[in-house]
């Protein structure tokens, strides 16, 4: 979705590149962003946010790319709009997003992929509030994990790494032993700052991404294996080889 130097170009076909950790490497746990990473809520989110931006007199087209990947309160705070209370407006937007889940769907292969993971080895770390996260997961037909880090759990959202550090801690793992799945710059930077490896999911990207990290279009052509120590490894499915 965004190009950010000095990352190197990465293609989905380069799944086993030795220069891109993520594939064929054992991890203690997986940490997933939610929107754009395991489910696609773009249409619903943009309906709500575009209407809000128009009411605020913003240039909607210019604003929309800036609202992905961050907590609503952080997005609104950055705008520094006169007479606007970011906390109140974020609460309003959250209520509207909870009511509108039309078109929220799982990223292809995500449900089956998550179903293969041991419940104590994966977590979701999202910028969404808890109620909205549960609502979207339900709408997409995805499981709610036992560890779900949401907007309420952090004082500063992504790109701050606290959420991913907290997710790893709750799973009993070091961030350095985790693989973070992300789709936007703020989340990628958060994963990096936490000290984790990052896998970039490109299913919702409208433009080619420049990244030094391994990438996946979706979860349809990968599988997970578990070794004797309980560590998880992602590799290409035999049909994709």
| Catalytic site positions | 33, 35
CA-wise closest residue to 204 among 76, 103, 130, 97: 103
The answer for 80, left when phi > 0, alpha when psi is -120 to 50, beta otherwise, is left
Alpha-carbon distance 9 to 209, whole Å? 7
- C-alpha distances (whole Å) from 171 to each of 27, 31, 98, 198, 233 are 12, 10, 28, 17, 17
Q: Which of 184, 197, 187, 194 is nearest to 3 (CA)?
A: 184
Q: 130-140 vs 86-99: helix axis angle to the nearest 10?
A: 20
Task: Spell out the residues 6+ positions from residue 136 whose beta carbon is closer than 8 angstroms to its own.
Answer: 34, 35, 39, 41, 101, 104, 128
């Amino acid at each position: 979705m965004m190009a950010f130097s000095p990352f190197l170009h990465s293609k989905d076909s380069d799944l086993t590149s030795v220069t891109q950790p993520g594939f064929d490497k054992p991890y203690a746990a997986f940490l997933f962003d939610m929107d754009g990473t395991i489910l696609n809520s773009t249409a619903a989110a943009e309906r709500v946010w575009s209407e809000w931006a128009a009411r605020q007199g913003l240039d909607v087209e210019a604003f929309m790319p800036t609202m992905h990947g961050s907590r609503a309160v952080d997005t609104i705070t950055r705008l520094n709009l006169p007479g606007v209370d970011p906390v109140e407006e974020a609460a309003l937007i959250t209520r509207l997003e909870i009511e509108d889940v039309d078109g929220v769907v799982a990223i292809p292969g995500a449900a089956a992929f998550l179903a293969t993971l041991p419940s104590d080895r994966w977590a979701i770390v999202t910028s969404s509030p808890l109620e909205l996260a549960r609502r979207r997961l339900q709408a997409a037909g995805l499981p709610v994990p036992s560890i779900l880090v949401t907007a309420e759990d952090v004082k500063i959202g992504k790109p701050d790494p606290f959420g991913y550090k907290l997710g790893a801690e709750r799973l009993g793992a070091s961030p350095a032993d985790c693989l973070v799945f992300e789709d936007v710059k703020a989340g990628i930077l958060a994963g990096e700052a936490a000290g984790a490896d990052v896998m970039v999911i490109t299913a919702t990207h409208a433009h080619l991404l420049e990244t030094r990290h391994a990438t996946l279009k979706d979860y349809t052509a990968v599988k997970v294996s578990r070794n004797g120590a309980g560590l998880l490894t992602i590799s290409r499915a035999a049909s994709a080889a």
